[in-house]
Amino acid sequence: MIVVSHRGPYRFDRDDDGNLIAHRGAGGIVSALGPLLDDKSDTTWIAAAMSDDDRAAAQAGTAGALDLNLRLLELDREQHRLHYDVVANGVLWFLHHGIFDRTRRPRFDLRFRDSWDAFVAVNQEFTDAVVETAAESEIVLVQDYQLALVAGQLRARRPDLRVVHFTHTPFAGPDDFSLLPTDVGADLCAALASGPAGFHTKRWAEAYRQSARATLGRRATVPAPFVASLGPDVAALEEVAGSADARAAASSLADAVGDRLVIARTDRIDPSKNIVRGFLAFDRLLEARPGLRGRVVFVAMVYPSRQGLAEYLAYENEVEQAVARVNDRWATRDWLPIVLDDRDDFVRSVAGMQRYDVLLVNALRDGLNLVAKEGPVVNRRDGVLCLSPETGAYEELKSAAIAVHPYDLEQCAGALDDALSMPLDERALRARKLRALATMRSPADWLADLVRHAGK
């Protein structure tokens, strides 16, 4: 079996002696697949070399010396930047998450065309690597929107391979998808429609099917997409939660919040995560409920992301300004309403998830949102989940969560109030149900679904 993803299961850096050391990579795909594929000598993982140390590991053969057969591609730096920053993150991410400011963006000009050529070329390099590596009739699992053309390219060159593409983001419906240049939209849909395509929820699968029909024409063959939701790795979460580092992080958090109620969130600083509106809803809650002042702390474990994009830098600034405004308005000598922690630290996030009384996930749109499942697994306080219906996880968890409208500050403030004031017996009942729902599917279940559909 071959796994193909933009980011690999390991990242490399150097120790004090200059030796290359492998560390488990970040991201949901790595978290889901990595533990399942460790020690599997018959599996190859193809990914991009993301850093200079990754490139050095590829050149030295270090990447291939792990328990997992890892092949890191040394992509042309400028092509890779155009592929990743301009097209994948600057266009496709915004498109599928519905976060374009349409009066200003997108604008498809000659710069975009150069970037699209780079996107095609980088996808082709991944395809070339698979063609060189794959045995006859081997299963190939292609992951996510950065490599949306690979499955189609592979099927054209190696029809013997059993290829499946899985998209971890939402998929834009026809109205949004039509923003793309006609030929670009057709290329993307044709590649996905060349074989099995999977999504986390029926909603995204149906949006893809409708967009493919509208883009390719009613007479085009668009195989029915499949749905395979991802669940958390419970054993790995519990191992982290029980670690000495997690206990230290929990102690530090306890020092910061004391015995107060805790609203928590943990996200990348990404416009689609809707962090600023969450703070504004909290501000409205404190205004409407004076009795909560000094009794509740919003612990925001958020960290910078994609800082090569102006929109992300601007949004990071908005996040910081929103925190400052709320704290300036309400803070007292011994109470800080919002505690902002901007470290990219998974152990810290797990400690925060153990401690929350309310977990806020108010994303504008999200393919799944694994945090909404991980939180209930490790939480120790019968915490309440406030969850946006625009997340993929909502369909699975809605019967035990409180819905939060991602744009309605008054409704979100009311939902937080309801969650904080919920009777203990109802909290306990919801928490038990959430844990059961969140753990109904495991990463192994998800992988088995992909392999099964690849064989069709």
Q: What is the pLDDT of residue 66?
A: 64
Highest mean pLDDT among 42-51, 233-242, 314-323: 314-323
Looking at per-residue confidence, does 70 or 296 come out higher?
Answer: 296
| Cβ atoms within 10 Å, residue 417 | 17
Residues 6+ apart with CB under 8 A from 178: 185, 214, 215
Phi–psi pair at 108, nearest 5 degrees: -100, 105
CA distance 267 to 88: 20
Q: In the numeric block, which tokens belong to residue 14?
A: 């150097």
Q: What is the pLDDT of residue 23?
A: 63
Same domain, 117 and 265: no
| Cβ atoms within 10 Å, residue 310 | 9
Q: Residue 18 region, left (φ>0) first, then alpha (ψ -120 to 50), else beta?
A: left
- Would you place residue 155 in the very low, low, confident or very high pLDDT band (cuts 50, 70, 90)? very high
Residue whose pair of structure tokens reads 């939660």 in the numeric block: 241
Q: In the numeric block, which tokens belong to residue 306?
A: 């994609």
Segments in 301-390 forming alpha helices (H) = 310-330, 346-355, 371-378
Strands 384-387 and 402-403: parallel
Same domain, 450 and 431: no
Same domain, 283 and 418: yes
| Cβ atoms within 10 Å, residue 64 | 14
Q: Which CATH number goes with the domain that contains 381? A: 3.40.50.2000
Same domain, 141 and 110: yes
Residues 6+ apart with CB under 8 A from 185: 177, 178, 211, 215
List, for residues 415-453, the tens digit of each pLDDT value.
Answer: 999 999 999 999 999 999 999 999 999 999 999 999 999
Looking at per-residue confidence, does 192 or 346 come out higher?
Answer: 192
Same domain, 383 and 239: yes
Q: What is the pLDDT of residue 82?
A: 97
> Domain count of the chain?
2
What is the CA angle 80-83-85, rounded to 5? Answer: 95
Torsion of CA 250, 358, 443, 436, to 10 degrees: 110
Same domain, 249 and 175: no
Q: Report whether the peptide linkage leading into residue 232 is cis, meaning its omega lies within 30 degrees of zero.
A: no
List, for residues 250-275, the tens digit of each pLDDT value.
Answer: 999 999 999 999 999 999 999 999 99
pTM: 0.93
Closest C-alpha to 278, from 363, 353, 218: 363
Q: What is the pLDDT of residue 275?
A: 98
Same domain, 184 and 226: yes
Residue 61: pLDDT over 60:
yes
Q: What is the pLDDT of residue 213?
A: 96
Query: How would DSSP label each residue in 41-76?
Result: TT-EEEEE--SHHHHHHHHHT-GGGSSSEEEEE---
Full residue range of the structural domain in which residue 207 is found = 2-230+445-454
**pLDDT mean over 160-178:** 97
CA distance 268 to 173: 25
CA distance 253 to 251: 5
Q: What is the pLDDT of residue 291?
A: 96
Query: How would DSSP label each residue in 140-153?
Result: EEEESGGGTTHHHH
Looking at per-residue confidence, does 58 or 428 come out higher?
Answer: 428
Same domain, 110 and 243: no
Residues 6+ apart with CB under 8 A from 18: none
Same domain, 152 and 10: yes
- Would you place residue 63 in the very low, low, confident or very high pLDDT band (cuts 50, 70, 90)? low
3-state DSSP percent of the chain in helix, strand and coil, to 5: 50, 15, 35
List, for residues 388-418, the tens digit of each pLDDT value.
Answer: 999 999 999 999 999 999 999 999 999 999 9
**pLDDT mean over 309-327:** 95
Residue 19: pLDDT over 80:
no
Same domain, 342 and 224: no
Same domain, 218 and 255: no
Residues 6+ apart with CB under 8 A from 194: 151, 152, 155, 156
CA distance 141 to 40: 15
Same domain, 335 and 251: yes
| Cβ atoms within 10 Å, residue 444 | 13
Q: In angstroms, what CA-CA distances link 365 with 115, 212, 270, 284, 317?
A: 25, 20, 11, 23, 21
Query: What amino acid occupies position 356?
Result: Y
